[in-house]
Amino acid sequence: MNQPWFTIRWHEGAVELLDQRLLPSQEVYLHLTCVEDLSVAIETLAVRGAPAIGCAAALGVALGAEESQANHLEGVLGDLREVFIPRIERTRPTAVNLFWALRRMEKVIDGLAARPDASVQTLRQGLVAEAERIVREDVEICRTMGRHGASLVGEDARILTHCNAGGLATAGYGTALGVIRAAVEAGRRVSVIADETRPLLQGARLTAWELSKDGIEVTVCTDSMSGHLMRLGEIDLVVVGADRVAANGDVANKIGTYGVAVLAHAHNIPFYVAAPLSTIDLAIPNGDSIPIEQRGRDEIARLGSSLLVPDGVDVRQPAFDVTPAHLVSALVTERGVVSSPTSESIKKLFSST
């Protein structure tokens, strides 16, 4: 499937990205020329989804090297290490791909700075090359993951997904939606139920937008309907993405995922998680230690200019929840499908070639 749109790219010294806040009503690309604007784009969800946030962070480092006003290498390195990377690091705490991409870019910075021919120009070129490599690799990884996961999808499968784990949440193709796309490419007929995903409606706005563009049958339901549909026997499997997978297989993903997993378990419906190795955080022992982003009150209390919650009444606003590993039927990665993931099987993924 060749998408006639892109999520994020490097273009003529700037970062360009599809502004996801405006979808599906408007398709507008932002042209960002400074790290502050890129960081605000991540914070306000113009670009979102764990792998896409990682790509944005990597491109942001390349952008920082362009933006720096320093006219000598030490100055640019100082701006990157002390100003730009810490700024990007503060944007969103849960998706580990952000930190994974920044650490990878830092390694490249260290390597480039130590070269005998090191200069501002070689640094800038090297960082753009590495960031573009991360973007390209992300698409390839999603395609590979999709091929592995497609084996879990039967003919005429009716698939529930939550949030958007598609091309928009990655550099293209998608994690959970990559599994669905690969099944379709393998010739299977499928239909998708997209949970609307309160409060920011990534399922209704984004999953429905990109699947319908691809001609994949998609129906939107509100988050509270999935139990009803499962009880009616209308869901064959669930596939979602992840923002961070802990070493023991616990999965942080968009708020509401845990409820879907519990319901799937109660109805004996397989619950699959598709995530690249860059989303697995071996340094975090279990889901309790995953930092959960708390977002602003207005995302829940207001809809545009309308008030949904009376002033003075508290709201809770965690953006993610944690699904314990025992509810995950299989983890789909670029290294293959791991059934009933455990610390051991996850660790093995990193040692296989």
**Which DSSP string corresponds to 240-303?**
E--SEEETTS-EEEETTHHHHHHHHHHTT--EEEE--GGGEETTS-SGGGSPPPB--THHHHEE
Site membership for ligand MRU, residue 223 (CB under 6 A):
no
Q: Which is nearer to ligand MRU, 64 or 93 (CB)?
A: 93
Site membership for ligand MRU, residue 175 (CB under 6 A):
yes
**Taking CB under 6 A as the criterion, which residues in 230-269 touch ligand MRU?**
241-243, 253-254
Instruction: Write out the two tokens for 351.
Output: 């040692």
**Taking CB under 6 A as the criterion, which residues in 91-120 touch ligand MRU?**
95
The yes-or-no answer on residue 117 being catalytic is no
State which H helix or E strand residue 17 sits in: strand 14-18
Site membership for ligand MRU, residue 169 (CB under 6 A):
yes
Quickly count: other Cβ atoms within 10 Å of residue 54's Cβ: 27
Q: Which is nearer to ligand MRU, 95 or 337 (CB)?
A: 95
**Residue 42 C-beta: closest distance to ligand MRU, Å:** 9
**Segment interacting with ligand MRU (CB under 6 A) among 49-57, 80-88, 265-273, 297-305:** 49-57
**Residue 1 C-beta: closest distance to ligand MRU, Å:** 16
Q: Which is nearer to ligand MRU, 54 or 64 (CB)?
A: 54
At residue 333, what are phi and psi to the nearest 5 degrees? -130, 175
Quickly count: other Cβ atoms within 10 Å of residue 298's Cβ: 14
Q: Which is nearer to ligand MRU, 61 or 165 (CB)?
A: 165
Give CA 74 to chain center in angstroms.
33
Instruction: Write out the two tokens for 252.
Output: 């942080």
Closest Cα partner for 48 from 102, 95, 96? 95
**Residue 60 C-beta: closest distance to ligand MRU, Å:** 16
Q: Which is nearer to ligand MRU, 64 or 241 (CB)?
A: 241
The active-site residue, picked from 243, 250, 281, 321, is 243
Out of 50, 59, 135, 179, the residue judged to bind ligand MRU by CB under 6 A: 50
Q: Which of helix, strand or coil describes residue 331? A: strand
At residue 109, what are phi and psi to the nearest 5 degrees? -60, -50
Amino acid at 95: A
**Segment interacting with ligand MRU (CB under 6 A) among 42-50, 128-136, 179-187, 265-273:** 42-50
What is the distance between the alpha carbons of residues 163 and 72, in angstroms, rounded to a whole number?
45
Site membership for ligand MRU, residue 287 (CB under 6 A):
no
**Residue 197 C-beta: closest distance to ligand MRU, Å:** 8
What is the distance between the alpha carbons of residues 84 and 105, in angstroms, rounded to a whole number?
12
Out of 170, 226, 278, 329, the residue judged to bind ligand MRU by CB under 6 A: 170
Q: Give the β-pairing of 14-18 and 190-195.
A: unpaired
Beta-carbon contacts of 129 under 8 Å, excluding residues fewer than 6 positions away, are: none
Site membership for ligand MRU, residue 54 (CB under 6 A):
no
Contact letters (x/-) for ligand MRU, 310-329, by CB under 6 A? ---------x----------
**Segment interacting with ligand MRU (CB under 6 A) among 80-88, 163-171, 211-219, 260-268:** 163-171
Q: Which residue is nearest to ligand MRU (CB)?
A: 241
Site membership for ligand MRU, residue 163 (CB under 6 A):
yes
Q: Which is nearer to ligand MRU, 65 or 251 (CB)?
A: 251
**Residue 184 C-beta: closest distance to ligand MRU, Å:** 18
Cis? peptide before 24, omega within 30° of 0? yes
Which residue carries 């990193």 as its tokens?
350
Count residues binding ligand MRU (CB under 6 A): 18
**Number of residues in the chain:** 353
Distances (CA, A) of 107 to 46, 92, 130, 132, 205: 27, 21, 10, 15, 37
**Catalytic residues, which ones?**
243
**Residue numbers at the binding site for ligand MRU (CB under 6 A):** 45, 48-51, 95, 163, 165, 169-170, 175, 202, 241-243, 253-254, 319
